[in-house]
Structure 1
Amino acid sequence: MIGISACLIGQAVRYDGGHKQQAALKRLIDRGEAIAICPEVLGGLSVPREPSELIKGDGMSVWSGQNEVQTQLGTDVTQAFKQGAQEALHILQQYNIDTVILKDGSPSCGSAKIYNGQFNGTQIQGVGVTTALLQQHGIRVYNEYNWQTIYE
């Protein structure tokens, strides 16, 4: 059993009310081989919601208290992101899941890239808030571009 970002299996949970469904990942859910999670929704954020980005670093620096997550209009949503990450971790631990496939680029789920905090579409290397927490707890995080390596 693995965990998958809900947006990657077709659930309309993204900030813009959309999804990024990938048929192969949806099939894993349909076959009962995976469960879907959305840390941002688990943290109490609405759908749709204002875009958010990590401001001064990545998810690791959020957990060390050196960074925050803000909406495009400057609202601090760090606590919602942290709460959602903790809820996602709790769910994964309940199912003894040690591997997830999360949406890259997301301020929660990014595992290779995140946006630079300037809301200009520029991506930088880094991890999201949820990815950072999951990795700290020994959970392997893949994204929609490299998940096939799980099965090699």
Structure 2
Amino acid sequence: MINKILVSACLMGFQVRYNGTEKAKVSTQLAQWQQQKRLVIHCPELAAGMSVPRPPAEIMFADGTDVLHDRARIVEKIGQDVTEHYQLAAWLALRAAQESGCRAALLTDGSPTCGSQHIYDGSFNNIRKAGTGVAASLLSEHGIAVFSEAQLPELILWIEEREGKSTCR
């Protein structure tokens, strides 16, 4: 049985980031997994109806877990509170992962939605801090292993350990 992986659409070359760009990380491994129909390509923000482009948004001096439990807000640089949009994005990512049988997720780090290792601090001064975005937090809370794009080698190992074989060829 193969382990399916929810993957951020921007990592697969789709121009869906807040500024209309992508963060293509289409490595040989991701291409192979895509051929195996292992990947579920998803953009939580687009699923929640957010536009491209859209103003940058940051979690205000907290992290995604706090946002999920209504202890913190997500605000766009222009001052608009968009917390509910990002909470919906997180729940839609979880639904996509669960309905597709994903046991892991490969997400774009730094995002208020997908960040799994770091997010921005809420000051809009390009200051990163350790923390998770709302979707990464929710996926983790529901037992889905979350990896950032920088952790692709760890994800490969995670898959190999669960399937008892090498996924690299």
Bin for the TM-score computed over the shorter chain? over 0.9
* Ranges in structure 2 where 5+ consecutive residues have no aligned partner: 158-169
Report the TM-score when normalising by structure 1.
Answer: 0.95
Query: Contact (CA 8 Å) 2:73, 2:83: kept in 1 or not?
Result: yes
What are the Cα deviations for residues 115-138 of structure 1, in whole angstroms up to 9, with x where unaligned?
010111110010001011111100
Q: State the one-letter code of the partner of 2:21.
A: G
For the aligned residue pairs, the C-alpha RMSD in angstroms reads 1.2
In structure 1, what is the equivalent of residue 100 of structure 2?
95
Q: Does 1:49 align with 2:54?
A: yes
| Cα 1:37/1:12, change in 2 over 3 Å | same
Greater alpha carbon shift after TM alignment, 43-52 vs 28-37: 28-37
CA–CA distance in 2 between the matches of 1:30 and 1:116?
A: 37
Q: Secondary structure at the match of 2:150?
A: coil
Pairing of 1:2-41 with structure 2 (within 5 A): 2-24=5-27, 26-27=30-31, 28-41=33-46
Deviation at 1:26, TM superposition (A): 4.8
| Cα 1:30/1:72, change in 2 over 3 Å | farther
CA–CA distance in 1 between the matches of 2:152 and 2:105?
A: 9
Select the structure of larger CA radius of gyration. Answer: 2
Q: State the one-letter code of the partner of 1:95.
A: S
CA–CA distance in 1 between the matches of 2:26 and 2:93?
A: 23
Q: State the one-letter code of the partner of 1:115.
A: Y
Q: Secondary structure at the match of 1:49?
A: coil
Q: Does 1:71 align with 2:76?
A: yes
Q: Percent identity?
A: 36
CA–CA distance in 1 between the matches of 2:44 and 2:149?
A: 16
Q: Secondary structure at the match of 1:135?
A: helix
Deviation at 1:30, TM superposition (A): 4.3
Q: Does 1:145 align with 2:150?
A: yes
Q: Secondary structure at the match of 2:102?
A: coil
Report the TM-score when normalising by structure 2.
Answer: 0.86
Aligned residues, how many? 152
Deviation at 1:23, TM superposition (A): 2.1
In structure 1, what is the equivalent of residue 161 of structure 2?
none
CA–CA distance in 1 between the matches of 2:60 and 2:35?
A: 37
Query: Contact (CA 8 Å) 1:10, 1:26: kept in 2 or not?
Result: no
